[in-house]
Structure 1
Amino acid sequence: MTSYVALLHSIILGEGRRVVMADLRQMAERLGYRLPRTLVATGNLIFEAPEQPLAEIESALEKAFLETFDRHVDIIARSADDWLRLADGNPFLAAGEEDPARVHIRVMRSPLRPDAFDGLRSYCTRGERVAVVGGDLWADFGGKASESRLLGASTTKRLGIGTWRNWNTVKGLRRILAG
C-alpha cells in the first residue's frame, strides 16, 4: 500500500453548502481506500491505496465526488514521497516559518514550465515573489494572499489545473504522512 494526498480544488457545493469532511472520508472508503484522514475542513485527504498512476487516482476520486456530491471538482493527487519532496522544496522557507499564511503553493496536475510565471509578474505589485519548483508554483505573498492581485490571476485557464495551499497546510499534511 502507498500513502497518497488528494487536494480538492473546492469544497463548495453551492450556496451555503460545503463538503463535510466525514462524507469525504466515507467516499474514499467506498473506493476501497484505507485509513482516510482529513486535515482541516478545506478538502485535504490522506489515504492508503495500492500503488497506481496518479491520473487513475484523480479520475476515480473525481468520478466518485461527482456521484456523491453531484458536482465536478478537480482533484490533485500526490504520493506521500512526492508530497514530502514538495514540502522540502519550499523556496520561501524563512518567510513561511515567520508567517505561514503568507507563503502558498499552487499544486499542479501537470508541471508548469519554469517560464510559466513570467506572465504573472505584472500582478506582483506588493513585493510578491514566485518560483516554480518541481512543476508547482510557490508564492510568497508578502502579506495576506487575499490582498494580492497575483492570487486572482493564477487561474486554471492561465496555468492549468491546480489548487492553492498555504504553508501551514503543507506542513500539516507532511506531519500526518511522517507520523
Structure 2
Amino acid sequence: MQTYVALLYSIILGEGRRVVMSDLKAMAEGLGLKNVRTLVATGNLVFEARTGELSKLERRLEKAFEKSFGRHVDIIVRGADDWLKLAAANPFPGESADTADRVAVRVMREPLPADTVEALQAYAAADEKILLVDGDIWLVFSRERPSSRLLAAANHKRLGIGTSRNWNTVRRLAEMVGSRQ
C-alpha cells in the first residue's frame, strides 16, 4: 500500500452546490481506497491504495466523481514521496512564512516547459513572482490588487490540466502524508 494525495479541480457543481467532503470520502472508499481523509472543503484527499500508475488512479477517481456527482472534474494524483518533494522544493520560503495564503503552486498533470515562466511574466505585477520547479509553477500573488492578472493567466486553457493550492494547504497535506510514511 502507498499513500497518495489527490487534488480536485474546482468542485463547485453549479448554482451554489458544493461537494460535501463526507460524500467525497465515501466515493473514494467505494473505490476500495483505504484510510481516506480530506483536508479543507476544497477537494483534497489523502488515501492509501495499491501502488500503481498515477494516470489509472486519476481516471478511476474522475470516473467515480462523475458518476457520484454528475459532472467531470480533473483530478491530479501524487504519491506521498512526490508530495513531500514538492513541498520541500517551495522556492519562496520567506514569503510562505510571512503570508502563506499569497504563495501557491499550480500542480500539473504534465510537467510544464521551461518557457512557461516567460510567458506568464507578462501578466505579473511588479510585486508578484513566478518560478517553475519540477514542472509545477510556483507563484507569489500581490496583496495590492483586488484581482491578479497572473492568477487569471495561470489557467487550464493556457497551461493545461492542473490545479492550484496555497502554501497552507500544501504544508498541511505534507504533514498528513509525512505522518503515514
Q: Could you say which TM-score interval applies, normalised by the shorter chain?
A: over 0.9
> 1:148: Cα distance to partner?
1.1
Structure 2: how far apart are the matches of 1:133 and 1:118?
14
Q: CA RMSD in A?
A: 1.2
1:38 aligns with 2:38: yes
Cross-structure match for 1:116: 116
Moved more, 144-153 or 64-73: 144-153
Cross-structure match for 2:159: 159
Give SS of 1:72's match: coil
State the one-letter code of the partner of 2:171: K
Cross-structure match for 1:137: 137
Cross-structure match for 2:99: 99
Cross-structure match for 1:54: 54
State the one-letter code of the partner of 1:49: A
Cross-structure match for 1:27: 27
> 1:145: Cα distance to partner?
8.3
Cross-structure match for 1:176: 176
> 1:16: Cα distance to partner?
1.4
Cross-structure match for 1:17: 17
Q: Is the 8 A contact 1:13 1:71 kept in 2?
A: yes
> 1:48: Cα distance to partner?
0.2
Cross-structure match for 2:66: 66
Change (3 A) 1:11 1:141: same
Q: Unaligned regions of 5+ residues in structure 2, if any?
A: none
Change (3 A) 1:11 1:95: same
Q: Is the 8 A contact 2:5 2:47 kept in 1?
A: yes
Percent identical residues: 55
Aligned length: 179
The TM-score, its normalising length taken from structure 1, stands at 0.97
Cross-structure match for 1:5: 5
Residues 109-159 of structure 1: CA deviation (Å, up to 9, x unaligned): 000011112111111124211001010000011437862110001111110
Residues 66-114 of structure 1: CA deviation (Å, up to 9, x unaligned): 0000000000000000000000000001101111011000000000011
State the one-letter code of the partner of 2:108: M
Structure 2: how far apart are the matches of 1:146 and 1:50?
44
Q: Unaligned regions of 5+ residues in structure 1, if any?
A: none
State the one-letter code of the partner of 2:29: E
The TM-score, its normalising length taken from structure 2, stands at 0.96
Q: Is the 8 A contact 1:101 1:144 kept in 2?
A: no
